[in-house]
Structure formats: structure tokens, C-alpha cells
Structure 1
Amino acid sequence: MNYKQKLILPMCAAFLLYGCNSADDSNEADNNAEDMTTVGQGTDTEVDPQVKAEVKDVEGKTLGTVNFTAEENSVVIETALEGLEPGYHGFHVHENAACEADAKDGPFTTAGGHFNPTDETHSKHAGDMPPLYVKEDGTAKYTATLDNMTIDQLKKEELAVIVHANPDNFANIPDRYEANGEKGPDADTLKTGDAGDRQACGIVVSAEAK
């Protein structure tokens, strides 16, 4: 074996070893990437609701669903509705699980007042939720996290969700304004926030209910 052959053979061996290691590293990286992709595609970040309300209008048409899910010491409310008048609407949990569109005192009045187990004025009711904003196309999507009610209450108290016709002022009428000739909010404002008639209603049920 001459000098050139002695020099070339170790170089070839080193090249082959490096090539094999590189291929192994490449395959390992590909496998890791595949594993990460599989995990990512298989992960579902959505949480199934524990309580829900199917919301219907006065004609009995389903407008969408309000979902309630526990998160630590709070309740996450998620809703997607359609077929409503554009603008802001009062949006509350009410004290009775009764959605009678033809009720004697007006649509859905059978749902009673706002859910209010601690007998507070409006804006402090357990059932007070942020106003619902409806876009020009009549749809509304909404997520809020509140700690003024619990999943257990929503499951046990036989409640309803109401969408009102008007915006909700949360009884926020400063003293410089007058209501019925008197300064500040009147009794109706303190009770309902002047959210007006009830346009849609849904009975709150456990999400496991069929």
C-alpha cells in the first residue's frame, strides 16, 4: 500500500461515519418534528361547557346557545347568537326556568326578575352579565369571565337567560340627571337597568342533559 492509499482510507472511513451520524441526526430531528406535529394536531384546547341555555325568540326560533364553564373560582360565559336587532342589549340570568313567549304580562316575563339571591340592586345581581353587542348582520359573539355566580348555582337554581330589547345602564344614573322628577335612578332602573322588553329566552340546564 503506497502513501496515498494510506492517507485516503482513513479519510473515507471518517466521511462514511460522519455521513451515517448526520443521517441518524436528521432522522431523529424528523421524528421529533413528526411527534410534535402529531401532539399539536391531537390537542383540543376547547373545554366542554358544564351548563348551557338554548336561546329562542318569541316565535320559538333558536337563535343560538349560551355556554357556562367553571374556571378556577369563576364562570366563563360564551355565546354565539343570531337573528337579533343590532346594538347593545341587556343580558342577564333570570330567577325562573320558564320561557313562555305568550305569557300574560309579556313575552318571557315568566322568567321572573334577575337572579339575585343576595337581594342587591341592579349591577350587583348575581345574574348581571355584561351587555350583549349585536353587529349589523344580527349576530353576536361574546366571552366573559365572572365570579358573581357559580356553576353549582346555575345547575341547581332552575334559571333562565334573557336577551332584552334595550341597552342596560346597570342603574348608573348620576344625581345630576332626573328620573320621574327625582334625582338619581328610580325604582325600575335600580331593579332592571331599563333594559326593556324581553326578546329572547333560554332555560339553563346541565350540559349533560339530553
Structure 2
Amino acid sequence: MRLLASLLALCIALLMPGKGQASSLEIDIHSISKDGIGESIGTVLARDSQNGLVITPSLTSLSEGEHGFHLHAGTSCQAAFNDENVSIAGLAAKGHWDPDNTKTHRGPFSEGHRGDLSRLIVNADGSTTTEVLAPRLNTADLRGRALIVHAGGDTYSDVPPLGGGGARIACGIAS
């Protein structure tokens, strides 16, 4: 019985990521609209590192340029109705993830909410594969939450509201 318990403990230890092991997640990202969730536009690979969370997008079908990229508090990519009864793409994803209740938008390398991620830079062909770093996050922070790609860039400030990223155009839930 003792041998069985020791073997079970060893198996669990080998399967669980520890301090010396990096954890990773692959998240399927879909286009979103006021009508709901659309087709897959690719994946995002997120992995823990000594410097924080390394996020590697492999996305297509986006417009060229900068796109705001955030971890949201919600668990759904569905459209939802706002206070004016208008359907908004990805509104069920709720607001940016702010577990420290900072209520401020300062970027991934500052002391604002932790949902800020580095902007995605999309090539002329609509693809992006450039890694971004989120130094204050790890894969456990992503689980069950929505990753959102916005139509526009991000100023990492509260003016315009939420950094000016604009409409939510793509989303994926980390599981």
C-alpha cells in the first residue's frame, strides 16, 4: 500500500508543472461579431517563462497594423446586449481582467490592470506571429478567461477609454 501511494505521488508530481517546468496553453481564436462567434482565425500559444507569460500568436484574416490585445474577465466570447439594447461583439467577455482592482489602463509593463497585453502587429497579408511578453501573468491566469483582439491599436492609457482599441473582433477562451 505504501509503494502504491509513493508511485501515485510520483506520477502526480511528474504531471503537474512545478517551478522548474514551464506550463503552456494553446488557445483557438475565432472572429466575432454582433451575431456571435465566427470561424477560427488561428491559435495563440501561451507559455510560462522566467520573465512572465510568452504569447505567440499564429493568426490570419486580420487587418494590417496594430491591434489591442487583452485578457478579459469573462468566460465567453459571445455577443451580448449593452445598456442601450444594442448587440456588441464579444461583450460577454466582460471588461479587462483587473484582479487588483486598479481601475486603470497602463500597459503590460506597468502597475495598471493585468489584462493589458502588448499590441499585436499584423502584416500586410493579415497575419501575425510576433511573440509578446506579459511579465505579470502566467498560464494559470488565462484559464477560463477570454483573450480579445480589438480592431484598433492601444495607447495603454485611460484616454481614450480603455486605450482606444475599439471594437472586439476576435476572441478565444483558455481552458
Query: Paired residues, what number?
Result: 140
- Under a length normalisation based on structure 1, what TM-score does the superposition of the two structures give? 0.62
SS of equivalent to 1:110: helix
Q: What is the CA-CA distance between 1:150 and the residue it aligns to?
A: 2.1
Displacement after TM superposition at 1:52 (Å): 2.7
8 Å CA contact 1:49–1:67 kept in 2: the answer is no
Residue 169 of structure 1 is matched in structure 2 by: 155
- Structure 1 residue 194 and structure 2 residue 164: aligned? yes
Is the CA contact (8 Å cut-off) linking 2:73 and 2:93 kept in structure 1?
A: yes
Report what 1:148 is aligned to.
136
Residue type of the alignment partner of 2:63: E
- Answer yes or no: is 1:160 the counterpart of 2:135: no
Offset at residue 48 of structure 1 (A):
8.6
Distance (Å, rounded) in 2 between the aligned partners of 1:196 and 1:73: 29
Unaligned runs of 5+ in 2: 1-20, 83-87, 107-111
Q: Paired residue for 2:72?
A: 94
The 1:87–1:73 alpha-carbon spacing in structure 2 relative to 1, beyond 3 Å, is closer
Shift in Å, 1:49: 6.0
| Equivalent residue, structure 1, for 2:52 | 74
Q: 1:51, 1:69 within 8 Å by CA — same for their partners in 2?
A: yes
- Shift in Å, 1:196: 0.5
Paired position in structure 2 for 1:52: 26
For 2:61, which of 72, 78, 83 is the aligned residue?
A: 83
Q: Deviations over 1:136-176 (max 9, x none)?
A: 11111121222211222223xx211000011111117xxxx
- In structure 1, distance between residues paired with 2:119 and 2:133: 13
Q: Where in structure 1 are there 5+ consecutive unaligned residues?
A: 1-46, 173-184, 206-210
The structure that has the greater radius of gyration is: 1
Partner of 1:110: 92
Aligned residue number for residue 127 of structure 2: 139
Contact kept? 1:91, 1:164, Cα under 8 Å = yes
Post-superposition shift, 1:110?
0.5
Q: Is the contact between residue 70 and residue 150 of structure 1 (CA under 8 Å) also seen in structure 2? A: yes
| 1:73 CA displacement | 5.2
TM-score, length of structure 2 as denominator length: 0.73
Give the percent of matched residue pairs that are identical in Structure 1 and Structure 2.
31
| Separation in 2, partners of 1:98, 1:203 | 7
Structure 2 CA distance for aligned equivalents of residues 111 and 131 of structure 1: 19
